[in-house]
Amino acid sequence: MPEITVILPDGSKRTLQEGSTAADLAMDIGSNLAKAAIIAEINGTEVDLLTPLENGSSVNIITGDSEQGLETLRHSTAHVLAQAVLDIYPEATFAIGPPIENGFYYDFAIPNDEAIKEETLEKIEKKMKEIVEADQTFIRGETTVSEALTMFSQHPYKCEIIETAEATEVDDDEIISFYRNGDGFVDLCRGPHVPSTGKLGHFKLMSVAGAYWRGDEKKPMLQRIYGTAWATKKQLKEHLERLEEAAKRDHRKLANELDLLSFPSELGGGLAVWHPKGSQVRKLMEDYSRQRHEDGGYEFVYTPHIANADLFKTSGHLDFYSEGMYPPMEMDNGEYYPKPMNCPMHCLIYRSGTKSYRDLPVRLFELGTVYRYERAGTLHGLMRIRGFTQDDAHIFTTEEGLAEEIGNLLEFVMSVLQAFGFKDFTFNLSTRNPEKSVGSNEIWDHATRALQEALESHGLPFSTKIGDAAFYGPKIDIDVADAIGRSWQLSTIQLDFNLPERFNLRYINSAGERKRPVMIHRALMGSIERFFGVLIEHYAGAFPSWLAPVQVSVLPVAEEHEEYAKEIITELEKENFRVQFVRADNPLGKRIRDVKTQKIPYVLVVGNEDVEAQTIGVNPRGGEVERGIPITDFIARLTKEINDQL
């Protein structure tokens, strides 16, 4: 029997009988690997395990441990989902079903637009389990475009995919591949797949939702079933636990439980009222922001909430973004719009006097409240809201001063966000979209280079998003990772070549010539509301002492200790701590429980022993109870803790 030799990823060689498949190779290496194997990579191309090997090929056996393996697993699970749905709804037609982060989805059109109910998901899941149980082999087939069109003639979306594939991909030979398993289920697919459905099994259907065909709102809406799938039962369990953890941190739930803010429906969608406790935290956030901006060389400004339509004609907002603006109010001398951005007004402030190059950079800062009309279906707690406040600044600088200003800004952003417990930053540089942008190539090149150099000179790794810039200039977006590893885009630094033109902004340079300043839009928290939502989830509602709306709760053991408790409170209030008194009207355990659910950093308990020794009992959030602490010690400790946090 002739033999072939293949090369493994570590460079070693392995000899097999001719005609051996990747699966045979996996088995030859070890039965555990054969069991874990999902697909193979031959000479860098992902293929099914049943693909025969050729002499001299480099072969890598892919398992569910790798991203590639998981993707295949999820993709194959999506196939089984489609198989189950078509079994239950024989008249249904199916569209696409790719792997996504943590799972997969598949889009279907059900006859007569019958809705797939959440309850039906259980039925579908049961059917999928049967298919997995049956351990059906995935068999790859290949055919021509015209035959594929016949094969899928009952499925118009599949036909559209085949036709589009023909038009765009132009494979050498226009071969369309498909996979067959079970009793005649066929799906159009590039592959590869797991060898058989028995390899699957650690999955769960999550939800059903509407989704436009090809993501186009002009095209029909299909029904999308989402699922999650993992290589092991443990991974699936852990994923579901992560979802539970995220649900526990949901800012909408916590904002309600902790009495921070609410969205009364009479107020209208996407509009919040801040309760005293939420307002306390917000005030601390804003005070901190103001202090840092003051130290950072910013000048504070205030601008009105509405403006004449002329302003937004000048700025271009009415031309470009009127759909996202609240409708105008008719007034004696024209139309007035609630402002969707602060920048036009900041431009007016800049323009109010002649600027010399010696005045630059001008940094105007405002906690500016803006109103944007977000479509009804897009609203989402504090994360997507119709009225919000930006920690907004506009910096007007010379072209020469740009790189340095950007560099300082990057440092500033990180330094401010660190106070809120964010340590992992990701930087994204967005470059010009030539289809949709203003300004010369020269100015874009120069500005993009300035952004890139600032990132590089500060040693900050970044990814480039080509064509992702706004029409008016390139930008750097900054994402942070929260306490449970989720990423949030918070800060943005955007260059603008458009507004300085439109508002005819100028400064006089050292040679006495009129020059155009460069404008930088930047926000650190972005929207205070959204940032607050992120903070609630990041801290799971347990704000660090410097931010906590109530820092200390003081509980007398019995009524006779109330007087002493109030003396303690007086001492703490002298130090400007935010303190709450809980009178002895309930058993101590009950009162402790009540304040603990409010996630207050310190619960102080005082009883006979404390009155006698002039001490307190300290019950810190997430810590052990300590008895007999002198109040001065506690004050020193809390003061230090807060200073360390900032």
Q: For residues 10 and 319, which CB has a smaller minimum distance to RNA in the complex?
A: 319
Whether 275 is a known active-site residue: answer no
From 158, 277, 372, 591, active-site residue:
372
- 607: contact with RNA by CB under 7 A: yes
Question: Footprint of RNA on residues 466-505 (CB under 7 A)?
Answer: 470, 494
H/E element, 88: helix 67-88
Q: For residues 224 and 355, which CB has a smaller minimum distance to RNA in the complex?
A: 224
Q: For residues 284 and 584, which CB has a smaller minimum distance to RNA in the complex?
A: 584
CA-to-CA separations, 430 to 439, 465, 469, in angstroms, rounded: 16, 5, 5
From 75, 317, 521, 591, active-site residue:
521
Rounded Cα distance, 528 and 534, in Å: 10
Q: For residues 458 and 596, which CB has a smaller minimum distance to RNA in the complex?
A: 596
Whether 390 is a known active-site residue: answer yes
Burial 522-553 (b: 16+ CB within 10 A, else e): bbbbbbbbbbbbbbbbbbbbbbbbbbbbbbbb
Q: What is the CA radius of gyration of the chain?
A: 31
Question: Footprint of RNA on residues 510-569 (CB under 7 A)?
Answer: 557-560
Question: Footprint of RNA on residues 117-146 (CB under 7 A)?
Answer: 117-118
Closest distance to RNA from the beta carbon of 331 (Å): 20
Q: Which amino acid, 313?
A: K
Q: Which residue has the tokens 């989704």?
A: 211
The H helix count followed by the E strand count for the chain is 20, 33
Rounded Cα distance, 185 and 123, in Å: 18
Rounded Cα distance, 577 and 550, in Å: 8
Question: Footprint of RNA on residues 139-178 (CB under 7 A)?
Answer: none
Q: Is 473 exposed, middle or buried (0-12, 13-18, 19+ CB in 10 A)?
A: buried
| Helix 276-295 × helix 402-418 angle, to 10° | 140
Tell me the per-residue interface mask from 280 to 319 with RNA, x by CB under 7 A, - otherwise: -------------------------------------x--
| Residues 228 and 77: beta-carbon distance below 8 Å | no
Whether 75 is a known active-site residue: answer no
Question: Footprint of RNA on residues 610-639 (CB under 7 A)?
Answer: 610-611, 617, 619, 625, 627
Size of the site for RNA (CB under 7 A): 72
CB under 7 A: which stretch of 71-79, 359-367, 373-381, 449-457 binds RNA? Answer: 373-381
Whether 384 is a known active-site residue: answer no
Rounded Cα distance, 245 and 258, in Å: 17
Whether 234 is a known active-site residue: answer no
Question: Footprint of RNA on residues 192-211 (CB under 7 A)?
Answer: 207-211
- 432: contact with RNA by CB under 7 A: no
Q: Which of 372, 394, 530, 538 binds RNA (CB under 7 A)?
A: 372
Pair type for strands 185-188 and 175-181: antiparallel
Q: For residues 172 and 217, which CB has a smaller minimum distance to RNA in the complex?
A: 217
Whether 392 is a known active-site residue: answer yes
Q: Which of 155, 224, 249, 292 binds RNA (CB under 7 A)?
A: 224
From 75, 158, 394, 599, active-site residue:
394
Question: Footprint of RNA on residues 1-60 (CB under 7 A)?
Answer: none
Question: Footprint of RNA on residues 241-270 (CB under 7 A)?
Answer: 252, 256-257, 263, 265, 268-270
Tell me the per-residue interface mask from 93 to 122 with RNA, x by CB under 7 A, - otherwise: --------------------x-x-xx----
Rounded Cα distance, 555 and 189, in Å: 66
Closest distance to RNA from the beta carbon of 321 (Å): 3
Three-class SS state of 249: coil
From 136, 280, 390, 494, active-site residue:
390
Rounded Cα distance, 27 and 514, in Å: 76
Whether 372 is a known active-site residue: answer yes
Give Cα 335 distance to the centre of its chain. Answer: 37
Q: Which of 134, 348, 588, 642 binds RNA (CB under 7 A)?
A: 588
| Active site (catalytic) residues | 343, 372, 390, 392, 394, 475, 521
